[in-house]
């Protein structure tokens, strides 16, 4: 659910409520210019954050937890629990993520390949599988 779009924030922010089913989340590590901040409202999200020389850090966040990510941070987020997870998410600047979200929602006959093409069109760089 879109809570604030670029039109209402002068392009500064894109704020959404996301609902992720068990097992859900982006299929690969990725990065993009916008920074993100997640406020977990219900359930549990697992974040994989690339810390550079220290490798990938796994962070599990539950209700009330806040997880900020600077732009260009390689990451992914998953729902590894058995229940739906809900978070309030803000992207800044908003346009790349808003355009990606709207582009994927508008796909006719959506496939993973089409969604990945929309990601590339919006500056979302795919980096490969989550390291073990």
Predicted confidence (pLDDT) per residue in 53-64, tens digit: 888 999 999 999
The string of DSSP codes covering 119-132 is HHHTT-EEEESPP-
CB crowding 18-46: b at 16 or more within 10 Å, else e: bebeeeebbeebbbbbbebebbbbebbbb
Residue 22: band (very low, low, confident or very high) from pLDDT cuts 50, 70, 90: very high
Residue 51: band (very low, low, confident or very high) from pLDDT cuts 50, 70, 90: confident
Radius of gyration of the chain (CA): 14
Residue 49: band (very low, low, confident or very high) from pLDDT cuts 50, 70, 90: very high
Predicted confidence (pLDDT) per residue in 62-89, tens digit: 999 999 999 999 999 999 999 999 999 9
pLDDT, residue 52, reads 79
Q: Helices 95-105 and 112-121, interaxial angle, to 10°? A: 150
Residue 131 has pLDDT above 90, yes or no: no
């Amino acid at each position: 659910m879109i809570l604030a779009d670029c039109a209402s924030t002068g392009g500064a922010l894109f704020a959404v409520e996301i609902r992720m089913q068990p097992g859900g989340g982006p299929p690969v590590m990725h990065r993009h210019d916008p920074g993100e901040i997640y406020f977990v409202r219900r359930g549990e999200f697992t974040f994989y954050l690339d810390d550079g020389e220290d490798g990938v850090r796994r962070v599990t966040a539950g209700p009330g937890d806040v997880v900020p990510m600077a732009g260009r941070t390689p990451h992914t987020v998953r729902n590894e629990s058995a229940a739906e997870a809900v978070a309030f998410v803000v992207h800044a600047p908003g346009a790349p993520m808003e355009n990606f979200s709207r582009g994927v929602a508008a796909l006719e006959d959506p496939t993973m390949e089409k969604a990945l093409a929309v990601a590339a069109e919006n500056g979302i760089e795919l980096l490969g599988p989550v390291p073990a």
